[in-house]
Structure 1
C-alpha cells in the first residue's frame, strides 16, 4: 500500500466513522423525539434517576460533549437546577462507556450486512418510526465500516520504524500522551470519537497499553475543554455545571494516576482474555465509575464549592430584555430546541398579558410608571417576535420530523398573534396619552363598560396562555366561549355609545377614543381565539 493509499484509508475511514456516529445519534434522537426534554424535566429530581437519564442521553447523542452542551442549554433556560445537573452530568460521563465498549466488540466483518439492513429500512419502508430505526442501524454499520477502513490504513503505518518509535515513547512522557488525547478530542469535538480511533490505533499495535491510557485520560479532559468553550456567554448556573465538569475530569485523572499500578494490574490481567481495545474500554469504565461514585457521595460539598467559586450576579432591572429559553447550543437537538421555543412563546404571551394590564392601569389611573412599563414590555414582545422567528427558522435547518414541523408552524402563527396583542395594548397606551393631553372625560356608563371590556380581554388572554402552557383543551374551549361574549359586548357597547352620542351624553372626541379602545380589546380577543384554536387542533 502506497503512502497516498494509507492517507486515504485513514482519513476516509475516520470520516466514515464520524459520519456513522452522527447518523446513529440523529436516528436515536428522532426515535426519542420530545421525550428527551420530558425525561430531563421529570426524572432528574432523584439523583440516581438523574444518573440514569444522563447515561441514556449520552447513548442518544453518542457523545458526552453533546449531552453536556444540552445540559448547559437547559440550565441557561432555568429548566434544570444545579443539583439536577450534577446527577445528569455524572450519568452523561458514565454513558460514554457504552459507545467505547461497543467499539471494543470485534464485529467489523459484519459492517456491510448491518448497513444493508439499514438501507432496506430507510428506502423500502414508509413507516417513519422504522425509517428512524433504519437510520440507527445504518449509522451503526457505518461506524464499524469506518473503523475497518482506518485499520487497513494503520496496518501500513505499523510497519514504519519512526511511527513505532514515536508511539512507544508516549509512556515515557505522560504529559505528552495527555496533551495528545486533548488534541484528538478537540479535533473530533467528541471524546467518544477520539477514544474510538485510539482503540483502533492500539489494536494495530501502534501504541502500548500504558501510552494508550494516557491518551484516553487526555481525551476525557478534552471534553471538559470543549464544555468550557461552549459555556462562553451562558448563565452563572451553566458556568457552575461546567466548572464541576472540569473538576470531575481533573479529579478523576489525578485519582487514576495515583492508583495506576493496581488499575494497570487489573487491566493486564484482563488482557489475557481481552483484546487491547476492550482493555481500553475497561480502563475507561473504571475511570468513570470511580469518579462518578466519588461525585455522588460528595454532591452537597460540590454544590457549595461551585456556588462559592462562581457567585450570583444580581440585577435590579424592572424588565429583563432578550430571550431566556432560546439557546443556540440546543439547536443540535431540534426536538429539545423546539420545546424551548414553546417555553419562550409562553413567556412572550405572559409579557403581552402584562403589557395589557399596565396599559389598562395607565388608562384608568393615569399612572406614568405603568405607561413606561407597558411600552418597555411591548418593545420586549417585538424583540421576542424576531428572536423566536429566527430561532424557529434555524431549528428547521437542523431537521424536524413531520409532527415537529407542524408544531413549529403552529408556534410561528401564535408568535404573530401574541405580537399583535402587544401592538393593541400599545395602542391603548397611545389612546390614554391622547386622553390625558386633551383632558377628555368619559361618562360614568362609558367607564363602566370599558372596565368590563378590559376585564374580559385580560381574562381571555390569561386563560389562553394557561391553555397553551398546559395544553388544556377545556381552557381553550372556555376562551372561545368568552371571546364570543366579548364580540357581543363590543357590539352592544358600540350601539350604546351611539345612543349616548345622540342624547348628548357623550362628546365626539371622547367617543372616538371609546370606540378605538373597544376595537383594540375586541382584536385582542380575536388573536387569543386563534391561539385557542391551535390548542384545540
Structure 2
C-alpha cells in the first residue's frame, strides 16, 4: 500500500463525512417545523415515543443530533427529561439505517436489476438527477431534494474510494500484524470508541469498518467489539453538548451514554462466553459488510428490548446522579435560558420554538394592556405592580428573541421558515411597545387616583366604546398572528381606522365640554394622554397585521396597500369599515358647535320672517 492509497483513504473518509453532513442538514431542513409537531405528540406510551425517536433520527440521519436537540429542549424548559427517555432509545434504532444502505455495496451479481441495487452503481445517476434539480428547478424545495441526492452520491463515492484504497491491505503482512490488536475484545471496544469519538459519527465509523471488511481480513471476533465501541463513541457529541447546561439537561446525554455502556456490557459478556467459554467457530470467520449491518442492528434493537422494561429505573438512576434540590431548582429556573443555542442545530425546530415564544409574548402584551384599561375602572396598586412585572417580562422576551432570531436568520432554512423569522423580527418590537403603553396607562391611572380625579360620566361612556373597540383589535391581531391567518389580519386595518375616527371625535367632544365648562383642564390633559396611548396601540396592531399580510404575499408593497385602503378603492375594506363604524358608535350628544350652528340657523330664520313681514307691510 503506497502513500497515495493512504491519501485516497483519507479523502474517501472526508467525502463520506461531507456527504453525510449535507444529507443530514438538508433532510432536517426539509423536515423543518414538522419536528416540532412530532415532538409535541410525545405521550406516556413508550412504543409511540420509540417510533418517534427512530423516525426523527432517520429523517435527520443522526442520533447524536437528536440528542443534542433534546438537551437544548430540556435546558430551555420546553421538555421534561422523562419525555426524552424513549425518544433516545428510538434514536438508537433509527441510526442503523445507514449501515444497511452501505452494506448494499457488497452485492455481487450478473443480474442487471440486482446489480443496480448496489449504491456504487446507481449513485452516479442519483448525482445527475440531483444536479439537474439544483440547476434547473426554480423551487427551493426541489433544489433541496437535489442537494440531498448529490450528498448521498458524494457519501457513496467516499465509501467506494475508501474501499478501493484499503484493498491492497489484504496482501500486506504489516496490516495482518496490526489486526492482532483488534482481536482483543477490550482493545477493539476502546479503538472503536476512540475512532468514532474523533470523527463524531457512528455511521462513518461503521462505514470504514465495512470498507475494511471488503479486504477479507476482518473476522467476526474483530468486528463485533469495534461495532460496540462505535456505538459508545457516538455519544461524544451529546456529552460535549451537555457542557454548561442545567443539571436537568445534563441528564439527557448521561442517559444516552448509559444505555450504550449497559448495552456494551451485556453484549460483550455474551460475546466473551460465546467465544472463549463455548468456543464458537464463527468468531474466526471473515465478516462482510452485510453481516456488520446485521450485528449493528441486533446490538441496538436488542439493547433497547432488554432495557425497555427498566426504562423508568434508568430514568430514576440518572435523576439521582444529577439530583436537583428545591432551592437549586428555583435557582436553575431563574437562570434558565429562553431558547437554547443548541436548537440552532435544527433551524426548523428552532423557528417553531421561537414562534411559540412570540405567540406567548403577544398574549402577554394583550393581557397587560387590557389589565391597564381596567385599572381605570377599579384602581388597585397590586394590579399596577403586575402590569410593571409583565412589561419587564416583555422586555426580556424581546431581547432574547431578537438576539436568537438574528442568529437563526443566518442559518440555511426553507423559504417559509425565512418568512416566519422575518415576520417575528418585525412583530416582537410592536408587542413590546404595547407593554410600554400599558405602563403609561397604569401610571396615568395611578396619577388620577392620587389626585382623586375621575373622568366625567360623558367621557366614561365614550371611553367604554373606545375600550371595546381596542379589545377587539387586540384580539384580532393576536389571533391572526397565532394562526398566521392573513385573511383575519385584513380585518385589523378597517377597525384601526374606526378607532382613529373615534379618538378624533372624543377629542372634539372634550374640547366642547371644556368650552362649556363641563370639564376641568387637568382632566383634559389626562384624557388626551389616554387617547394617545390607545391610538399608538392600535397603530402597533396595524403594523403586525400588515406584516402578516406582507409575509403571505411576497409581492405585497406596504405603502401602496395602505394608500389604496385610505383612498377607499377596496370594496372589502369599505364594507368592513362600515360594519365596525356601525358597531362602535359614541353616545349621541349635541356639541357646542352644533348648538351654535342651530342657534345661527334659527336666528336667520327669525330674521327672514321679520324681513318678510316688513316687506309685506311696505307693499300694503
TM-score tier after normalising by the smaller chain length: 0.7 to 0.9
Q: What CA distance in whole angstroms lies between the structure 1 residues aligned with 2:165 and 2:73? A: 41
**SS of residue paired to 1:403:** helix
* 1:409-424 correspondence to structure 2 within 5 Å: 409-424=422-437
Q: How does 1:305-344 map to 2 (within 5 A)?
A: 305-311=317-323, 314=326, 324=338, 326-344=339-357
Q: Does 1:399 align with 2:412?
A: yes
Q: CA deviation at 1:196?
A: 1.9
Return the offset for 1:413: 1.7
Residue 9 of structure 1: how far off its partner (Å): 1.4
Structure 1 segment 360-371 matched on structure 2, within 5 A: 360=373, 367-371=380-384
Shift of 1:66: 0.8
Q: Give the whole-Å Cα distance in 1 for the aligned partners of 2:373 and 2:288.
A: 73
CA distance in 1, matches of 2:242, 2:479: 33
Paired residue for 1:510, among 498, 519, 523? 523
Q: Distance in 1 between matches of 2:225 and 2:530?
A: 72
Aligned to 1:40: 39
Q: What is the TM-score of this pair, normalised by structure 1? A: 0.86
Matched, 1:22 2:35: no
Q: 1:287 aligns with which of 284, 290, 299?
A: 299
Q: Offset at 1:64?
A: 0.6
* Inter-partner Cα distance in structure 1 for 2:473 and 2:366: 10
CA RMSD of aligned residues (A): 3.4
Contact conserved, 1:227 with 1:242, CA < 8 A, in 2? Answer: yes
Distance 1:533 1:207, change over 3 A: same
CA distance in 1, matches of 2:378, 2:334: 25
* Alpha-carbon distance, 1:81 to partner: 4.5
SS of aligned partner of 1:506: coil
Q: Is the 8 A contact 1:90 1:295 kept in 2?
A: no
Q: Secondary structure at the match of 1:210?
A: helix
- Larger displacement relative to structure 2 (379-388 or 515-524): 379-388
Any stretches of 5+ residues in structure 2 without a counterpart? 106-117, 553-620
1:172 paired residue among 158, 164, 184: 184
2:146 maps to 1:134: yes
1:147 is aligned to: 159
Per the TM alignment, residue 218 of structure 1 is displaced from its structure 2 partner at its CA by 2.0
Q: What is aligned with 1:91?
A: 90
Q: CA deviation at 1:342?
A: 0.7
CA-to-aligned-CA distance 1:392-451 (integer Å, 9 cap, x gap): 222232211223222222222222221222232233244445546766554344455546
Aligned residue for 2:614?
none
What is the aligned partner in structure 1 of residue 30 from structure 2? 31
Distance in 2 (CA, whole Å) between partners of 1:307 and 1:339 is 28
CA drift of 1:152 comes to 3.2
Local SS of the residue matching 1:298: helix
3-state SS, counterpart of residue 422 of structure 1? helix
Q: CA deviation at 1:127?
A: 4.1
1:209 aligns with 2:220: yes
CA contact (8 A) 1:118 1:137 kept: yes
Cα distance change on mapping 1:211 and 1:99 into 2, 3 Å: same
Q: Aligned residue for 2:577? A: none
Q: Does 1:186 align with 2:197?
A: yes
SS in 1 for 2:517: coil
Alignment-derived partner of residue 276 in structure 1: 288
Q: Which residue of structure 2 lines up, in the alignment, with residue 383 of structure 1?
A: 396
* Partner residue in 1 for 2:131: 119
After superposition, give the CA deviation of every residue in 1:200-227 in whole Å (9 maximum; x if it has no partner). 2343356543333223222222233422
Pair 1:501–1:234, CA change in 2 (3 A): farther
Question: Residue 346 of structure 1 corresponds to which residue in structure 2?
Answer: 359
Residue 23 (structure 2) pairs with residue 11 (structure 1): no
Contact 2:140/2:415, CA 8 A, preserved across alignment: no
CA distance in 1, matches of 2:437, 2:141: 44
d(CA) in 2 for partners of 1:275 and 1:172? 16
Partners of 1:133 and 1:427 in 2: CA distance: 52
Q: Assess, with a 3 A threshold, how the Cα gap between structure 1 residues 498 and 164 changes in structure 2: closer, same or farther.
A: farther
In the TM superposition, residue 292 of structure 1 has moved relative to its aligned partner by 1.5
Distance apart, 1:349 and its partner CA: 1.4
* TM-score relative to the length of structure 2: 0.76
What per-residue deviation string (whole Å, max 9, x for no partner) do you get for residues 155-182 of structure 1? 45555555543332233260x3333223
Inter-CA distance 46–401: structure 2 relative to 1 (3 Å threshold): same
Does the C-alpha gap of structure 1 residues 144 and 271 become closer, same or farther in structure 2, counting only changes over 3 Å? farther
Deviations 1:490-530 (A, max 9, x none): 23322232222222333333322221221212221222233
Cα distance in 2, alignment partners of residues 306 and 446 from structure 1: 63
- Name which of 232, 247, 258 aligns with 1:247: 258
Contact kept, 8 Å, 2:104 with 2:290, in 1: the verdict is yes
Radius of gyration: which is bigger?
2
